[in-house]
Amino acid sequence: MKRAVEPVFIGIISAFVHQLCYIWRMQGPLLYEVAYSQDTRPFVYRALLPIIARFISSLLEIDAVNVLIFLVFVSAYCLYYAIKYLCSTFESDAFKASTISFLSCAAYFLLILNCAKVYDLATGAFFALLLALLARRKYFLYFLLFPLASLNRETTFLLIACFAVWLVVPKVKMSRMLLYGTAYQIIMCYVIHMYVIDRFAGNPGVDFLWRYPHNFIAYASAPVPTTILLAIVGTGAYLIFKGWNKEPFFLRTMLIVLFPQQLFLHLLLGMPWEMRVYAEVFPVVATLVLWRVPAQGIVDREVNTVKNKAEYSN
């Protein structure tokens, strides 16, 4: 019975992505502009999926727009399995990991529903996977995927602090891995960002959309939606901090590192009530919120948490 659930999860995810692609198709040339990198700056800088779409299109002689839609479906499946991989780092029950991953995907779809971008699903998938690799200390694969994630979205630089903190927290000392790994990520982010800026310099738009202080004014001028948003955030914070000490140590650490960075960026660059900009930290938040289990698993969870701390401290 449990094995039959996962295909149902994938089917529901497929249905949502199909609806999302239908909405994009109804927006005129949007998908064409994205597939052929004719979008405005800075959105055109998120170039990974369009580059792959055009490459496959040139090989198979298929319209790049159709390939891009296919890649969006692949991104959604990758999001599901990446969050599941992250959950399974701390949870041995495969069914529970699948359920958490599916519910996280469902919540993620709601998160990006307002002005969703083609690269949003890939962003969540990359961050969930890279965080899982970081937690498992699989640094080679982490470094291998980091440039691709950076080409998908420049906010991948947020992981540099996560990497540095995670290497320092268990053993408070400097190491070659910390120095070389941090330098590598900074160089990759810089090189890729300079490449896309130069490559798409002729596209209309600007490099950064500064929205401060207009977003503050918008929040202040609309007290009802702002209050609703704060209530939702407060509920999530309550669910997370209610059992804070029982949550996986890695997830708690990543939340502390990632969320302040994203909040700062949102206040400077984000549009009011645009929660999709928190896609990078969402896999951590969703996993923490959905970590709640029936009473029968409380003891096991506490034991696993202790084991995780001991494992990561070695």
For the stretch 137-192, pLDDT in tens is 999 999 999 999 999 999 999 999 999 999 888 665 567 888 999 999 999 999 99
Residue 270 per-residue DSSP state: P
Rounded average pLDDT over 247-255: 90
pLDDT of residue 273: 77
Q: Which H or E run contains 179?
A: helix 176-199
Q: Give the number of domains in the chain.
A: 1
| pLDDT tops 70 at residue 268 | yes
Residue 21 structural domain: 2-313
pLDDT of residue 172: 54
pLDDT of residue 201: 92
The residue with tokens 């959309």 is 209
Q: What is the mean pLDDT of the chain?
A: 86
CA neighbours within 13 Å on the CB side: how many for 106?
12
Rounded average pLDDT over 235-253: 86
Amino acid at 173: K
pLDDT of residue 171: 65
Q: For residues 83 and 128, give the distance between their C-alpha atoms in angstroms, rounded to a whole number.
A: 5
The residue with tokens 């948490």 is 305
pLDDT of residue 12: 92
| pLDDT tops 60 at residue 261 | yes
pLDDT of residue 285: 87
pLDDT of residue 2: 62
Torsion-angle region of 208 (φ positive above 0: left; ψ -120 to 50: alpha; else: beta): beta
Per-residue pLDDT band at 296 (split at 50, 70, 90): very low
Rounded average pLDDT over 264-281: 83
Work out the angle between the directed axes of helices 282-289 and 94-112 (0-180°, nearest 10). Answer: 130
- pTM for this predicted structure: 0.88
Q: Give residue-wise pLDDT tens across range 203-232.
A: 998 888 787 788 888 888 888 888 888 898
Distances (CA, A) of 279 to 29, 82, 313: 25, 14, 29
Q: Give residue-wise pLDDT tens across range 24-54.
A: 988 889 999 999 999 999 999 999 999 999 9
| pLDDT tops 70 at residue 295 | no
